[in-house]
Amino acid sequence: MLGYAAYGAEVKTVVITNLPQDKPFVQVVQFLYSVAILLSAPLQLFPALRIMESRLFKRKSGREDLRVKWTKNAFRALVILVCYFVSWAGAKDLDKFVSFVGSFAW
């Protein structure tokens, strides 16, 4: 809010894109931020996947049944594809997308 008050409509939604793009330090910060986001996605999806798998597959284990193992893998891939599609569709209006998600997770 303070940045918007100081710079007006020139402030972008993603804070890192407000930094000057010609500095090597800024490029390193942007790269490290993208690596952090990339590596945190599996950690964020893991609890949700475990909950959904426990409901869908009950107590079936992929260690004993190869079909269950590949069904779980296909389910995980489907969840990742859905997340990718939602992020791709919401990338143009990130502020509206974040507001929409925030309205459900208060």
What confidence tens digit (pLDDT) does each residue in 44-80 have? 888 999 899 888 888 777 777 888 889 988 999 999 8
Structural domain span for residue 36? 2-104
34 closest CA partner among 17, 12, 13: 17
The mean pLDDT value of the chain amounts to 83
Q: How far apart are CA 42 and CA 22, in angstroms?
A: 32
Q: How many domains does the chain have?
A: 1
Q: How many CA atoms lie within 13 A of 16 on its CB side?
A: 10
CB 59 within 8 A of CB 40: no
List the one residue out of 87, 78, 70 whose CA is nearest residue 52: 78
